[in-house]
Structure 1
Amino acid sequence: MPGDERYAEDTATWNLAHTHRPAVVVGAACVADIQAAVRFAHAHNLATAVVATGHGAVLPADGAVLINLRRMDTVVIDADRRRATVGPAVEMQSLVDAAAAEGLAPLTGSSPNVGVVGFTLGGGLSPVLGRAHGYAADHVRSAEIVTADGELRTIDAQTEPDLFWAIRGGKGNFGVITSLTIDLFPVTRLYGGGLFYGGGHVGPVLNAYRKLAADAPDELTVSFAFLRLPPLPFVPMPLRGRFAVHVRVAYLGSATDGERLVADLRAAAPPLIDSVVEMPYSAVASIHADPVDPVPAYEVGCLLSDFPEKAADALVAAVGPGIDTPLVMIEVRQLGGALAREPRTPNAVDNRDAPFQLFAATVGAPGMEAAFWPALSQVVDTLAPWVTGRKQVNFLTAYDTTPEAVEQAYDPATYARLARIKAAYDPGNLFRINHNIPPRD
């Protein structure tokens, strides 16, 4: 409780922009702890929030029951069936390493310390395997979940199929996931890394990027980011205190074919750093090199219907080299391929038709949401002719907590079905400190 010795430690999140001040925090070590916490919250009419790795914090859990899952981080690999069963707080790199020991790989995001469960239930966009295999949510086999009544349910496509459909895309709205069983893939290596260019070459680099993305096979994923990194020791020397274009490459084919595919990109300009090489799958986090230490982060994201030359020019004019902006990163991710196809087992992940995603982020002190909003919203406004008006669940941010904003992640029929299932399993909206889907009969 507030004032107790470990209260600050067990309420801490990865995104330091958000501080939780719950009425009580429960450090769960087993499923029974979670059930007890949920039943206590239900009995006292208190909202229930969950923290695992802390990446998904978007609202303060003030006055709530906060369940800290960080002690539940078990990974079990079933190599014969190519599956993994993970606890609710397993970090992505832990799963990657455990699967790699068996010659297998999960669908991973760009960050090594994001939680596997939160990543997967929010869709799970992999910048390495996604275009070849779809979303991580498409490859969930079963789950165990504590619902608002405190009951532990084991669900899959045959057992409570509505709830199983809803959690895959509905994220934390339906209960506390205590374990998740997911598919693994026989991937041990790839050709990938980053190409960093100075701001003076942004035009030819983006032209080469767009051409490569337009003709890319499903085994290739390319994205780019405008970076403004500080002149600090942890930043590689060529990138300190300057604008740079970071093109990320992940190719599942041979290194020879990969070199041929990115040849024009390499020839577009002399790179400051070229780290694109043959690598073990266990090193995929090095491609994006996302920050791993906790920071106060402020972000926006949206889906794009296209990224033509006019869009690239508009982005450069608004936030390219020489422009004064507090934004640290503006990225465009390539989607398409298997990400655009419906899965064999349907789920609530929508908006699959967009070929690109825009994401922008910056770092500052806590409480700077209003200060950074003009710069973040400007990026979206700049690309307004190509913004679809839809979003992905995992890229909803702290600026997207209204019901209208959450609805942008779903088709109307999907959202209505999610609201009905919410009414069946959480009629009192116990789980509402999130991108909330209110119950609706």
Structure 2
Amino acid sequence: MTIALTDLPVTAGPVFVPGDEGYAAEVASWNVAIHHEPHVVVGATGAQDVAAAVRWAGTHGMPVAVQATGHGAVRPVTGGLLVTTGRMTAVSVDPVTRTARAAAGARWSQVVEAAAAHGLAPLNGSSTHVGVVGYTLGGGAGPLGRRYGFAADHVRSIEIVTADGALRTVDADHEADLFWAVRGGKGNFGIVTEIEFGLFEVAGFFGGGIHFPGSHAAEVLHAYRAWVAGLPEEMSTSVALLRLPPLPLLPEPLRGAYVAHLRVAYLGTAEDGEALLAPMRAAAPALVDDVSWRPYSAVDSVHQDPVDPLPSRDRGVLLGELTAQTVDHVLEVAGPQVDVPLMMVEIRHLGGAFARTPATPNAVSGRGAQYSLFAIGPGLPELAPVVDEVTDRLLAVETMPGGLMNFSGHAAPEALLANWATADRDRLLRIKRSYDPTNVFSSGQALVG
């Protein structure tokens, strides 16, 4: 499709078409396995740019996609209009109401830093490098979640541009159906330009990680299965089997190693945290143990997620319980004795506040699950078939119905819709038809093909 230079959208931010200098950098995603090729890209500087871009796309019958950081990129944008929001990075914190506001392209690191100045913390995910909006719209299951629930549970209001190009502010009292759907339904209903959410009085926590040798993976995983059953909601944990790269920035014992990595975040005293952690410290000898009391600004030390862009392909399922048979299956498929292209296999403890309906209900899926089982492999095209085949085998366990949107990967619309029970699924589709009757927003984790 050829777009005349005189027919491009008029915005304060830059506009690119294929062949322009800066086009490739503008469409680049953190997940470098995804290569976007839109007909037009608008680098939005504010909500009015987003609205103008969506209205322009409407006059040309174009689909519209959005990208902030590209951490959640699961399938490429081909054709149409891509709105990038990386220039929209404003963040503000109100310590009196314990709320924060974040623009479309803001990252959690900005919110963590701004909130920490007041002894407050947000419900960010495992990496503060990730964008606030996309993470939250997918639910958001982070290191404080067993105590406080999903990030989406604490959203107060949302500013969103819908398919008609209108800029709306929605909350529990204004367009409540749309407010319900966006919190959990991801980007299917429009482009969120700003979000307001609650903060919590958390200045520090007892946490970090323990890396165990891969040769002790069985002992660690079986000990974890027994241990988590009795943990209080103040303790959020996960355990991952990692195939670490031979990078100089890693400590020598971890460089190029296969390890079992226990992640811990406890909202209690260090003394109580030490006592709770003791059974896992006794499960196997540690290569590296850095669990300690730390300020919330050091929350990235829990999961130690990579910061630099990489190619990835991921998918997960939900579990009602973590049985010995499931642990044995995980070890059989992805343990240290097999050579499979999975960079990480994670078992995450859910339950607690994750399972409770918030004061203002939303469309977040996956409530009621006790655990998630999640895998990440390299997203290289030549490896995709084998990554998918191994992931299929890994996830062939006794699962719960439903799923977490942020852990659903590149699933097709019919598979994504299976994340919800029938009533919620029907409600989501009804709201989608009402606000986006021509399916303008059909990229990413689309509910309608």
One fold, TM greater than 0.5?
yes
The residue identity in structure 2 corresponding to 1:8 is A
Indicate yes or no: 2:107 matched with 1:98. Answer: no
Indicate yes or no: 2:379 matched with 1:369. Answer: no
Indicate yes or no: 2:239 matched with 1:219. Answer: no
Residue matched to 2:86 = 70
Contact map agreement 2:157 2:169 (CA 8 A) in 1: yes
Residue matched to 1:231 = 246
Contact map agreement 1:194 1:287 (CA 8 A) in 2: yes
TM-score, reference length from structure 2: 0.94
The residue identity in structure 2 corresponding to 1:193 is G
Residue matched to 1:156 = 171
The residue identity in structure 1 corresponding to 2:427 is R
Residue matched to 1:246 = 261
Residue matched to 1:268 = 283
Query: Given the alignment, which residue of 400, 406, 429 partners 2:439?
Result: 429
The residue identity in structure 2 corresponding to 1:394 is N
The residue identity in structure 2 corresponding to 1:191 is F
Range that drifts further, 53-62 or 42-51:
53-62
Residue matched to 2:225 = 210
Indicate yes or no: 2:191 matched with 1:181. Answer: no
Deviations 1:191-220 (A, max 9, x none): 001111112222322232122210000000
Contact map agreement 2:160 2:194 (CA 8 A) in 1: yes
Range that drifts further, 72-81 or 199-208:
199-208
Deviations 1:387-429 (A, max 9, x none): 224211111112x0x2221112211111111111111111010
Residue matched to 1:390 = 402
In the alignment, the residues of structure 2 paired with residue 201 and residue 63 of structure 1 have an alpha-carbon distance, to the nearest angstrom, of 49
The residue identity in structure 2 corresponding to 1:416 is D
Deviations 1:279-320 (A, max 9, x none): 000111111000111111011111112112221122112211
In the alignment, the residues of structure 2 paired with residue 202 and residue 34 of structure 1 have an alpha-carbon distance, to the nearest angstrom, of 48
Contact map agreement 2:141 2:151 (CA 8 A) in 1: yes
Summarize the alignment of residues 129-144 of structure 1 with structure 2, pairs less than 5 Å apart: 129-144=144-159
Residue matched to 2:346 = 331
In the alignment, the residues of structure 2 paired with residue 241 and residue 31 of structure 1 have an alpha-carbon distance, to the nearest angstrom, of 45
Deviations 1:132-153 (A, max 9, x none): 1111111000011111111110
In the alignment, the residues of structure 1 paired with residue 332 and residue 44 of structure 2 have an alpha-carbon distance, to the nearest angstrom, of 50
Indicate yes or no: 2:320 matched with 1:305. Answer: yes
Residue matched to 1:170 = 185
In the alignment, the residues of structure 2 paired with residue 413 and residue 244 of structure 1 have an alpha-carbon distance, to the nearest angstrom, of 42
RMSD after superposition: 1.2
Residue matched to 2:32 = 16
Cα distance, 1:234 vs. partner?
2.5
Query: Given the alignment, which residue of 42, 49, 62 partners 1:33?
Result: 49
In the alignment, the residues of structure 2 paired with residue 55 and residue 262 of structure 1 have an alpha-carbon distance, to the nearest angstrom, of 32
Cα distance, 1:364 vs. partner?
4.8
- 3-state DSSP of counterpart to 2:193: strand
Residue matched to 1:115 = 131
The residue identity in structure 1 corresponding to 2:447 is I
Residue matched to 1:280 = 295
In the alignment, the residues of structure 2 paired with residue 21 and residue 319 of structure 1 have an alpha-carbon distance, to the nearest angstrom, of 35
In the alignment, the residues of structure 1 paired with residue 423 and residue 242 of structure 2 have an alpha-carbon distance, to the nearest angstrom, of 38
Cα distance, 1:354 vs. partner?
0.8
In the alignment, the residues of structure 1 paired with residue 193 and residue 354 of structure 2 have an alpha-carbon distance, to the nearest angstrom, of 27
In the alignment, the residues of structure 1 paired with residue 121 and residue 419 of structure 2 have an alpha-carbon distance, to the nearest angstrom, of 28
Cα distance, 1:71 vs. partner?
0.2
In the alignment, the residues of structure 2 paired with residue 62 and residue 319 of structure 1 have an alpha-carbon distance, to the nearest angstrom, of 34
Contact map agreement 1:303 1:391 (CA 8 A) in 2: yes
- 3-state DSSP of counterpart to 1:317: helix
In the alignment, the residues of structure 2 paired with residue 376 and residue 280 of structure 1 have an alpha-carbon distance, to the nearest angstrom, of 36
TM-score, reference length from structure 1: 0.96
In the alignment, the residues of structure 2 paired with residue 91 and residue 212 of structure 1 have an alpha-carbon distance, to the nearest angstrom, of 33
The residue identity in structure 2 corresponding to 1:323 is V
The residue identity in structure 1 corresponding to 2:394 is V
In the alignment, the residues of structure 2 paired with residue 143 and residue 199 of structure 1 have an alpha-carbon distance, to the nearest angstrom, of 44
May I ask how many residue pairs the two structures share in their alignment?
A: 433
Cα distance, 1:270 vs. partner?
1.3
- 3-state DSSP of counterpart to 1:173: coil
In the alignment, the residues of structure 1 paired with residue 237 and residue 387 of structure 2 have an alpha-carbon distance, to the nearest angstrom, of 28
In the alignment, the residues of structure 2 paired with residue 117 and residue 111 of structure 1 have an alpha-carbon distance, to the nearest angstrom, of 14
Cα distance, 1:370 vs. partner?
2.2
Contact map agreement 2:184 2:405 (CA 8 A) in 1: yes
Deviations 1:368-393 (A, max 9, x none): 42242112212112xx2x22242111
Residue matched to 2:9 = none
Residue matched to 1:296 = 311
The residue identity in structure 2 corresponding to 1:137 is A
Query: Gapped runs of 5+ residues in structure 2?
Result: 1-16
In the alignment, the residues of structure 2 paired with residue 115 and residue 334 of structure 1 have an alpha-carbon distance, to the nearest angstrom, of 23
The residue identity in structure 2 corresponding to 1:311 is T
In the alignment, the residues of structure 2 paired with residue 6 and residue 424 of structure 1 have an alpha-carbon distance, to the nearest angstrom, of 36
Contact map agreement 1:335 1:357 (CA 8 A) in 2: yes
The residue identity in structure 2 corresponding to 1:43 is T
Deviations 1:20-51 (A, max 9, x none): 01000000011111111101111111110001
The residue identity in structure 2 corresponding to 1:357 is S
Deviations 1:167-191 (A, max 9, x none): 0011101111110000000100000
